[in-house]
C-alpha cells in the first residue's frame, strides 16, 4: 500500500470489511483514493472524454458505484435527453442515470448486491468497467443533446400553453392516431 492510501495510524472509524477489500484492490493497482468514512471511498478516473469523480459506498447490502453530477448546471428535463437516458438504460441494464431534484445535474450509478458481504476482484473490476466506460462513452452524446439548438427548447413534460393574442383566431388542431415519423439517422446499438 502506498503512504497516501495507508492511513491506519490516524483512522477515526472502523472500516467495513467490503470497503477494506475495495481499498486493497485499488492499492494493488496503485490507484490513488480517499476513504470518506467506514463505508465509502472516492477516486478519480480518467476516460477518453472526461475525468470522473467516482464514489464507491455500501448501502443496504449493496455496493454502489456512483459518478455524481458528471453533467451539471444545464436543464436536463427535456424529452430528447430523457429519451436518450431511457435508451441507454434499456440497453445496458447494469447502469442507471439520475437527474437531480432541480433537473440541472446528471449522475450515473451501478450497484452490486452483496449477498455474503463480500465482492470478488472480478466483480469489482466489472462494476467499475461498466460504469466508467458507459459514462465516458455516453458523455459526448449527452453534450451534443444538451447543447443542440434543434431540441434546446423541447420540453420533457406537458408544455405550458400560452394564451393566444386577442386579435388572432385559434388554429384548427387535427389529432392523428398515426405514430410519429421514424428517424433513420439514429445509431442502432446491439443489445447484450
Read off the pLDDT band of 66 (50, 70, 90). Answer: very high
Please say whether the beta carbons of 5 and 26 come within 8 A: yes
* Residue 136 vs residue 5, higher pLDDT: 136
**What's residue 44's pLDDT?**
95
Q: Measuring CA to CA, which residue among 156, 157, 72 is closest to residue 107?
A: 72
Ramachandran category for residue 103: left, alpha or beta (phi over 0 → left; psi -120 to 50 → alpha): left
Provide the residue range defining the domain that includes 60.
8-147
Q: Measuring CA to CA, which residue among 84, 35, 75 is closest to residue 56?
A: 35
**What's residue 137's pLDDT?**
94
What's the total number of domains in the chain?
1
Q: Which residues, other chains included, contact 173 with Cβ-Cβ below 8 Å and sequence gap of 6+?
A: none
What CATH number is given to the structural domain containing 53? 3.30.1460.10
* Residue 177 vs residue 32, higher pLDDT: 32
Read off the pLDDT band of 190 (50, 70, 90). Answer: low
Q: Measuring CA to CA, which residue among 145, 165, 166, 167 is closest to residue 156?
A: 145
> Could you give the C-alpha distances from 13 to 9, 34, 58, 61, 65, in angstroms and in order?
11, 14, 15, 19, 21
8: which DSSP letter? Answer: G
Q: Per-residue pLDDT tens for 103-142?
A: 999 999 999 888 887 889 999 999 999 999 999 999 999 9
Query: Is position 171 within any domain?
Result: no
**What's residue 192's pLDDT?**
46
Query: Is position 185 within any domain?
Result: no
C-alpha angle 144/68/97, rounded to 5°? Answer: 60
Mean per-residue pLDDT for 18-35? 94
Query: Is position 92 within any domain?
Result: yes
* Cβ count near 185 (within 10 Å): 5
Query: What is the pLDDT of the chain when averaged over all its residues?
Result: 80
Read off the pLDDT band of 159 (50, 70, 90). Answer: very low
- C-alpha to C-alpha distance for 190 and 53, rounded to whole angstroms: 28
Query: Is position 192 within any domain?
Result: no
Q: Residue 182: pLDDT above 80?
A: no
Q: Measuring CA to CA, which residue among 70, 74, 49 is closest to residue 152?
A: 74
Query: Is position 132 within any domain?
Result: yes
Q: Measuring CA to CA, which residue among 134, 147, 146, 126 is closest to residue 88?
A: 134
Query: Is position 1 within any domain?
Result: no
The most confident of the ranges 25-34, 162-171, 181-190 is 25-34
**What's residue 60's pLDDT?**
87
Query: Is position 31 within any domain?
Result: yes
Query: Is position 139 within any domain?
Result: yes
Amino acid at each position: 500500500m502506498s503512504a497516501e492510501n495507508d492511513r491506519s495510524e490516524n483512522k477515526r472509524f472502523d472500516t467495513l470489511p467490503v470497503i477494506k477489500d475495495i481499498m486493497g484492490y485499488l492499492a494493488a493497482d496503485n490507484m490513488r483514493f480517499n476513504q470518506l468514512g467506514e463505508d465509502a471511498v472516492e477516486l478519480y478516473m480518467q476516460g477518453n472524454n472526461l475525468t470522473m469523480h467516482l464514489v464507491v459506498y455500501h448501502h443496504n447490502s449493496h455496493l454502489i458505484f456512483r459518478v455524481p453530477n458528471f453533467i451539471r448546471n444545464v436543464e436536463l428535463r427535456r424529452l430528447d435527453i430523457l429519451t436518450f437516458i431511457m435508451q441507454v438504460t434499456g440497453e445496458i441494464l447494469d447502469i442507471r442515470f439520475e437527474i437531480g431534484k432541480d433537473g440541472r445535474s446528471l449522475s450515473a450509478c451501478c450497484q452490486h448486491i452483496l449477498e455474503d458481504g463480500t465482492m470478488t476482484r472480478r466483480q469489482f473490476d466489472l462494476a467499475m468497467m461498466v460504469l466508467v466506460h458507459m459514462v465516458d462513452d455516453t458523455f459526448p452524446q449527452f453534450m451534443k443533446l444538451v447543447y443542440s439548438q434543434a431540441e434546446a427548447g423541447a420540453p420533457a413534460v406537458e408544455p405550458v400553453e400560452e394564451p393566444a393574442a386577442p386579435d388572432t383566431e385559434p388554429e384548427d388542431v387535427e389529432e392523428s392516431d398515426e405514430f410519429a415519423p421514424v428517424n433513420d439517422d439514429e445509431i442502432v446499438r446491439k443489445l447484450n
